[in-house]
A and B are shown apart, each in its own frame.
Chain A
Amino acid sequence: MGRIVFAGAMSHVLDPDYYDRACGELGRRSVVAAMDEIARMGERLSATNPDALIVVADDHLNAFSFNCVPALCVRIGRRVQRMVQDHAEAFDKVLDHMPTEYPLHEALGNAILEQGLAAGFDLAMSWEAPVDHAFLSPINTMHGARPIPPLVPIFVNAFVAPQPTARRCFAFGQHIARVVAQSPWKVGIIATGGLSHFPELSLPRVGETDTVFDRRLIHWMETGEHGPLQELTADELHKTGSHEFLNWMVLLGAVTPARAEVRYFGELPRINLAAVEWRLA
């Protein structure tokens, strides 16, 4: 019988130069401290010798353009490629030094997809979507030079309204847990993004965060109170700049009722950086 052997969530622009440009020396110091904790989380993940790593993250209009924006999409196939961007700027630039191709756990991806459709989740599938910093920055920070386990990338539409609801993301996470439990594999799962930044996706408001809201989310995760989290509305997430918390909701559904332990929380003008790990039974 399979099980989830590691669960963690973390911010996903893990680039000292980016935060130096955005927030100065404090930004650099903060993200380096966050990355140190995320690297230690990666060591604990590797110690479980997982068969697969599920990565729940969002696309930033890189993989999916305006031909289709899936609410929830399982990236299937045997390999996934890094997003390619010429003359990359801002958060895209973090990808420049990373490996260009990663193995997938084809059987687990197919199981989540096929059993999901059978269970009533109208999931999208992709054989070709590349992955951007939301996926690759955390997994490379976690693993450093160690091998990265076969991945199952799962895309959540965090930004293009209308998004899936927090409750639906949580339910999808519960589905993932059921699939893993019926499988023969030891599986790690991470969710990426956040915490609050870019409220209302408004350029003049870049630089604002909502620390009160973030601390409320953290409190509920630490105490295992997942009911209020499922009540979060699209409007709340949009106004506070917590769009990417939908990724975390999938993970919460997969590990509920486990409680979270905060490994790092740091306030910056641009974003509140976070790294969180769950105590699994």
Chain B
Amino acid sequence: MEARVSRYEVNSLLYRLKKDPEFRARFVANADAALAGADLTDAERAAFVARDMRKINELGGYLHLVMSIPGLAGH
């Protein structure tokens, strides 16, 4: 149960990337800086910086979010 409901940080970040164009632009310009305040593990942070949607999905990112973030979507 823990693993299925504890991915809040990853998913709230994905949601923000999808719905907040200004944050998305900051992330695209400098991912490290945009993620500075995010409460992520090293593996999660590395996956976001690499824009590795497969890894983000593997780490608990919901599929429909990783498939639909404008300009960053995994397919």
Contact = CB atoms under 8 A, between A and B. Distances in A.
B62 A160 contact: yes
B68 A203 contact: no
A201 interface: yes
Contacts of A88: 68, 70
B5 A161 contact: yes
Contacts of B4: 161-162
Interface string B23-67: 000000000000000000000000000000110011000111111
Contacts of B18: 85
Contacts of B57: 201-203
Contacts of A91: 64, 67-68
A163 to B, nearest CB: 10
B63 A89 contact: no
A61 interface: yes
B62 A203 contact: no
Interface residues of A, number: 22
Given A161-B4, A203-B67, A90 B75 contact: yes
A86 B17 CA distance: 11
A89 B74 contact: no
A13 to B, nearest CB: 11
Contacts of B68: 60, 85, 88-92
A159 B64 contact: yes
Contact of A66 (B11, B21, B69, B71): B11
A66 B15 contact: yes
A88 B8 CA distance: 23
B63 to A, nearest CB: 4
Interface string A155-177: 00001111000000000000000
A61 B73 contact: no
12 contacts: A60-B68, A61-B65, A65-B12, A66-B12, A86-B21, A89-B68, A90-B67, A90-B68, A91-B67, A91-B68, A198-B63, A201-B62
Interface of B: 1, 4-5, 8, 11-12, 15, 18-19, 21, 53-54, 57-58, 62-71, 73-75
List of 10 A-B pairs having minimum Cβ-Cβ separation, nearest first: A87-B70, A201-B63, A203-B57, A60-B64, A161-B4, A89-B73, A90-B68, A65-B15, A66-B12, A203-B54
